[in-house]
Amino acid sequence: MDLEATRELTRASVPAGGTTQVADEVIEKIAVAAARAVPGVADLGGDVARFFNAVLDRVGLDQVGDARRGCSAHVTGDAAVVNLVLVIEAGRPVPEITSQVRAQVTETIEAFGLRVDEVNIRVDDVAMGGPTP
Superfamily the domain 20-127 falls into: Cation efflux protein, cytoplasmic domain (3.30.70.1350)
14 pLDDT more than 80: no
* pLDDT one-digit tens code per residue, 44-71: 886 545 444 554 455 554 554 555 678 9
Sort residue 129 into left (φ over 0), alpha (ψ -120 to 50) or beta.
Answer: alpha
Determine the pLDDT at residue 89: 94
pLDDT score recorded for residue 86: 93
The average confidence (pLDDT) of the chain is 81
Find the helix or strand (DSSP H, E) in which 86 lies: strand 79-89
Residue 66 host element (H or E): none
β-partners of residue 89 are 127
pTM of the predicted model, to two decimals?
Answer: 0.73
Q: What CA–CA distance (Å, rounded) separates 104 from 102?
A: 6
